[in-house]
Chains A and B, each alone.
Chain A
Amino acid sequence: MSAVIEASGLQKSYAGQRVVDGLNLSIRKGECFGLLGPNGAGKTTTLRMLLGLTEPDAGDARLLGLPVPQAAREARIRVGVVPQMDNLDPDFSVAENLLVYGRYFGLRDSEVEARIPALLEFASLTNKRDAKVPTLSGGMKRRLTLARALVNDPDVIFLDEPTTGLDPQARHLIWQRLRELTSQGKTLLLTTHFMDEAERLCHRLAVMDNGRLISQGTPRELIDRNIEPQVVEVFGERAAAWAAAHAAQYSQRFEVSGETVFCYVQEAQPLVAHLQAQADLRYLHRPANLEDVFLKLTGREMRE
Chain B
Amino acid sequence: MSNRIYALPRLSLRFYPIWQRHWLVWKKVAAASIMGHLADPVIYMLGLGYGLGSFLPEMGGMSYMAFLAAGTVCYSTMNSASFEALYSGFARMHEQRTWEAILNTPISLEDVVLSEILWAATKSLMSGVAVLAVIWVLGLSHALMSLWMIPLALLIGLTFASVGLIMTALAPAYDFFMYYFTLVITPMMMLCGVFFPVAKLPDTLQIVAGILPLTHAVDLARPLMSGEVPPQFALHIGVLLGYTFLGFYVSLVLFRRRLAK
What is the interface of chain A, defined by CB distance below 8 A to chain B? Answer: 14, 51, 53-55, 57, 73-74, 76-77, 81, 83, 85-92, 96, 100-101, 103-106, 152
Residues of B near A54 (CB, < 8 A) are 260-261
Given contacts A87-B101, A89-B21, A90-B96, contact A104 B260 (CB under 8 A): no
Instruction: Check B104 for interface membership: any CB of A closer than 8 A.
Output: yes
How far, in whole Å, are A96 and B25 apart by their CA atoms in the complex? Answer: 10
Q: A76-B106, A81-B104, A83-B100 are in contact. List 18 more A-B contacts (CB 8 A).
A: A54-B260, A55-B4, A73-B108, A77-B106, A86-B97, A87-B96, A87-B97, A89-B98, A91-B25, A91-B28, A92-B24, A96-B24, A100-B20, A100-B21, A101-B101, A101-B105, A104-B105, A104-B106
Write the nearest CB–CB distance from A107 to chain B, whole angstroms.
9
Residues of A near B102 (CB, < 8 A) are 104
30 A-B residue pairs with CB within 8 Å: A14-B261, A54-B261, A55-B1, A55-B260, A73-B106, A73-B108, A74-B106, A76-B105, A76-B106, A77-B106, A83-B97, A85-B97, A86-B97, A87-B96, A87-B98, A87-B101, A89-B98, A90-B96, A91-B25, A91-B28, A92-B24, A92-B25, A100-B20, A100-B24, A101-B105, A104-B17, A104-B105, A105-B106, A106-B17, A106-B106
What is the interface of chain B, defined by CB distance below 8 A to chain A? Answer: 1, 4, 14, 17-18, 20-21, 24-25, 28, 96-98, 100-108, 260-261
Residues of B near A87 (CB, < 8 A) are 96-98, 100-101
Residues of B near A73 (CB, < 8 A) are 106, 108
Cβ-defined contact, B20 with A103, below 8 A:
yes
In the A-B complex, the 6 residue pairs with the smallest Cβ-Cβ separation, listed nearest first, are A87-B97, A103-B17, A104-B105, A81-B104, A87-B101, A91-B25
- What residue in chain A is nearest B18 (Cβ atoms)? A104
- What residue in chain A is nearest B28 (Cβ atoms)? A91
Cβ-defined contact, B108 with A51, below 8 A:
no
How far, in whole Å, are A26 and B98 apart by their CA atoms in the complex? Answer: 31
Residues of B near A83 (CB, < 8 A) are 97, 100-101, 104
How far, in whole Å, are A14 and B261 apart by their CA atoms in the complex? Answer: 8
Residues of A near B21 (CB, < 8 A) are 89, 100, 103
Write the nearest CB–CB distance from B131 to chain A, whole angstroms.
26
How far, in whole Å, are A103 and B14 apart by their CA atoms in the complex? Answer: 10
How far, in whole Å, are A53 and B96 apart by their CA atoms in the complex? Answer: 19
- What residue in chain A is nearest B259 (Cβ atoms)? A53
Residues of B near A106 (CB, < 8 A) are 14, 17, 106
How far, in whole Å, are A53 and B105 apart by their CA atoms in the complex? Answer: 10
How far, in whole Å, are A101 and B102 apart by their CA atoms in the complex? Answer: 8
- What residue in chain B is nearest A77 (Cβ atoms)? B106
How far, in whole Å, are A82 and B107 apart by their CA atoms in the complex? Answer: 16
Write the nearest CB–CB distance from B86 to chain A, whole angstroms.
19
Cβ-defined contact, B104 with A76, below 8 A:
yes
Write the nearest CB–CB distance from A191 to chain B, whole angstroms.
15
- What residue in chain A is nearest B99 (Cβ atoms)? A87
How far, in whole Å, are A42 and B100 apart by their CA atoms in the complex? Answer: 19
How far, in whole Å, are A84 and B5 apart by their CA atoms in the complex? Answer: 25
How far, in whole Å, are A133 and B148 apart by their CA atoms in the complex? Answer: 42
How far, in whole Å, are A88 and B105 apart by their CA atoms in the complex? Answer: 14
- What residue in chain B is nearest A132 (Cβ atoms)? B28
- What residue in chain B is nearest A90 (Cβ atoms)? B96
Q: Which of B17, B103, B104 has the most CB of A within 10 A?
A: B104
How far, in whole Å, are A57 and B83 apart by their CA atoms in the complex? Answer: 37
Residues of B near A77 (CB, < 8 A) are 106
How far, in whole Å, are A106 and B13 apart by their CA atoms in the complex? Answer: 10
Residues of A near B105 (CB, < 8 A) are 76, 101, 104-105, 152
Write the nearest CB–CB distance from B135 to chain A, whole angstroms.
32
Write the nearest CB–CB distance from A291 to chain B, whole angstroms.
30
Residues of B near A89 (CB, < 8 A) are 21, 25, 96, 98, 101
Residues of B near A152 (CB, < 8 A) are 105
How far, in whole Å, are A51 and B101 apart by their CA atoms in the complex? Answer: 13
How far, in whole Å, are A57 and B4 apart by their CA atoms in the complex? Answer: 12
How far, in whole Å, are A134 and B20 apart by their CA atoms in the complex? Answer: 21
Residues of A near B28 (CB, < 8 A) are 91
Residues of A near B260 (CB, < 8 A) are 54-55
Residues of A near B4 (CB, < 8 A) are 55
Write the nearest CB–CB distance from B145 to chain A, whole angstroms.
39
How far, in whole Å, are A112 and B198 apart by their CA atoms in the complex? Answer: 54
Residues of B near A88 (CB, < 8 A) are 101
Write the nearest CB–CB distance from A42 to chain B, whole angstroms.
12
Residues of A near B97 (CB, < 8 A) are 83, 85-87
Cβ-defined contact, A104 with B96, below 8 A:
no
Write the nearest CB–CB distance from B129 to chain A, whole angstroms.
24
Q: Which of B18, B21, B25 has the most CB of A within 10 A?
A: B21
How far, in whole Å, are A57 and B20 apart by their CA atoms in the complex? Answer: 36
Residues of B near A81 (CB, < 8 A) are 104
Q: Which of B1, B14, B107 has the most CB of A within 10 A?
A: B107
How far, in whole Å, are A233 and B76 apart by their CA atoms in the complex? Answer: 70
Residues of A near B1 (CB, < 8 A) are 55, 57
